Structure 1
Amino acid sequence: MSDGGFLEIQPTELKFPFELKKQSSCSMQLINKTDHFVAFKVKTTNPKKYCVRPNTGMVLPRSTCDVTVTMQAQKEAPPDMQCKDKFLLQSVIAEHGATTKDITSEMFNKEPGKVVDEFKLRVVYVPAGPPSPVHEESEEGSSPRSSTFENGTQSLQTLDSVSRSNEPSKEKSPEALAMISKLTEEKNSAIQLNQKLRQELDLLRKERGMHHGGFSVTFVVLVGLLGALIGYIIKKS
């Protein structure tokens, strides 16, 4: 901070974040702590390299003025990042009520009995700051990664639901169920009849053993027909 002369200057050095092939800007604030209108003018040793806005102006009493200096993109870095460029800020007391339009180059000429305050500022290059870190947490406190995982889970659940809906239905129609029930009943009846015939056959065999007799041809034929009928019913079911 410079508090000498008519204007207080903050800061006293122009610090530019330096990065090849990129423009860089910095600013300074001019503070008028007097009760006078103060006109200022900014000069530089390398006018093609820098752009100053505003390069001339009027600072009202007890007020401030911001000046922005932009450095054009540089193709090469200077040795040891040292810059020899300089800026000169000139200030002079102006008439009361003067405006920027009233400023002329002659106002800053040094003449006997006229005070022209001058302040030199040097240029400093500083390394460009690293990119700002990515915030891992969202406003609701959940990270994008967890949100992605949750979305993936929902997608899998949706896909599973669609796959299930596309599977062929395993339910059978009422007609098919009725046919199966009927065939099952016929099968059970045939099995019971077969068991009953076997019991009667065993009983007849026992009686034959007791009486040493034999079966009639009619009985044998009847048993054969019943066996064939039972076999047909079982195969059909």
Structure 2
Amino acid sequence: MSTEELLTINHFELKFPFELRKPISCSFELLNRTDNHAAFKVKTTNPRKYIVRPNYGIVLPRSRCNVTVTMQAQSGTPLDMQSKDKFLLQCVITHPGAAPKDICQEMFNKEVGKYVQECKLKVVYVTPRRPPSPVPEEPEESKVQILKLVDERDTTIQKNGKLRRELESLKRRDPHKRAMVPILYAFLVGLIGILMGYCSS
């Protein structure tokens, strides 16, 4: 009997998105394509590090079984993000009506004329996906300050227009003060320029 005729596994790598101090789980699926009842058992080279649920069971004919492997929280990062841990899946045909409580180690002993399907699974660490960083919002104080500066700029522009009109009026009313107008105008323009530069910074 070939391995494909008993239980089929959907992948042979257990990929864990590694994170420190956090339990991590991944799963694989067993598919029974035959008309036989299949008993299975999962072993690991590092039983203190992993929890397998279920680690043994019965897969009914033409049905599936999902197995979850949980890696205990780790306090350190593995060297080069590589793992030497491995898992072994063993499968045998059992009699109809068998229950998980009937499964024992002797069922998977290799004897003459007895077929035991074995599949090796390796552990692979992958970098977890990070959600995109949200765009930081401007603090409320910054928004208030910007609005205040905009108001000051608008007020300065209005005052500039008013002063220009007053200067034009002075030119027309008193010819003797015309000599002072360019000086006042230059001073006013310089002052407004300084205020505008402060508001736009």
What is the TM-score of this pair, normalised by structure 1?
0.54
CA shift for structure 1 position 5: 5.0
Give the deviation of 1:100 after TM superposition: 1.0
Partner of 1:13: 13
TM-score of the two chains, using structure 2 as the length reference: 0.63
Q: State the distance in 1 between where 2:56 and 2:91 align.
A: 10
* Offset, 1:35: 0.3
- The match for 1:124 is 124
Q: Aligned in 2, Cα 1:92/1:131: closer, same or farther, shift over 3 Å?
A: same
| Cα distance in structure 1, aligned partners of 2:18 and 2:62 | 34
Q: Which amino acid in 2 is paired with 1:129? A: R
Are the counterparts in 2 of residues 5 and 117 from structure 1 also a CA contact under 8 Å?
no
Residue 82 of structure 1 corresponds to which residue in structure 2? Answer: 82
Give the distance between the partners of 1:62 and 1:104, measured in 2 at CA: 23
Sort the Cα spacing of 1:89 and 1:132 in 2 relative to 1 into closer, same or farther, 3 A. Answer: farther
Distance 1:101 1:30 in 2: 19
Task: Call closer, same or farther: CA 1:77–1:98 in 2, change over 3 Å.
Answer: same
Partners of 1:35 and 1:102 in 2: how far apart? 20
Q: Flag the structure with larger Rg.
A: 1
**Structure 1 range deviating more: 109-118 or 56-65:** 109-118
Distance between the aligned counterparts of 1:38 and 1:22, measured in 2? Answer: 34
Q: Distance in 2 between matches of 1:133 and 1:8?
A: 40
Q: Counterparts of 1:69 and 1:102 in 2: how far apart (Å)? A: 23
Output aligned runs, 1:152-163, within 5 Å. none
Quote the Cα distance in structure 2 between the aligned partners of 1:103 and 1:36: 16
Compute the RMSD of aligned alpha carbons. 1.8
Residue in 2 aligned with 1:49? 49
Separation in 2, partners of 1:73, 1:4: 35
CA contact (8 A) 2:5 2:33 kept: no
Encode CA deviations 1:98-118: one digit per residue, 9 max, x unaligned. 111221111011111111110
Relative contact order higher in (CA < 8 Å, ≥ 6 apart): 2
> What amino acid does structure 2 have at the position aligned with 1:100?
P
Say if 1:44 and 1:54 are closer, same or farther in 2 by CA, change over 3 A: same
Taking the aligned partners of 2:119 and 2:11, their CA distance within structure 1 comes to 12
Residues 1-237 of structure 1: matches in 2 within 5 Å?
4-131=4-131
Q: Aligned equivalents of 2:60 and 2:132: distance in 1? A: 38
Is contact 2:5–2:34 with CA below 8 Å preserved after alignment? Answer: no
Residue by residue over 1:31-76, the C-alpha shift from the partner in whole angstroms, topping out at 9 and shown as x without a partner, is 0000000000000000000000000000000000000000011111
Unmatched 5+ stretches in structure 2: 141-201
Deviation at 1:131, TM superposition (A): 2.9
Equivalent position amino acid for 1:120 in 2 = K
Conserved? CA contact 2:9–2:29, under 8 Å: yes
Q: Identical aligned pairs, as a percentage?
A: 61
**Does the C-alpha gap of structure 1 residues 105 and 6 become closer, same or farther in structure 2, counting only changes over 3 Å?**
same
Assess, with a 3 A threshold, how the Cα gap between structure 1 residues 26 and 132 changes in structure 2: closer, same or farther: farther
In 2, Cα distance between equivalents of 1:77 and 1:129:
17
Paired residue type of 2:111: E
Secondary structure of the residue aligned to 1:4 is helix
Q: How many residues align?
A: 135
Q: Structure 1 stretches of 5 or more lacking a match?
A: 137-144, 150-237
SS in 1 for 2:113: coil
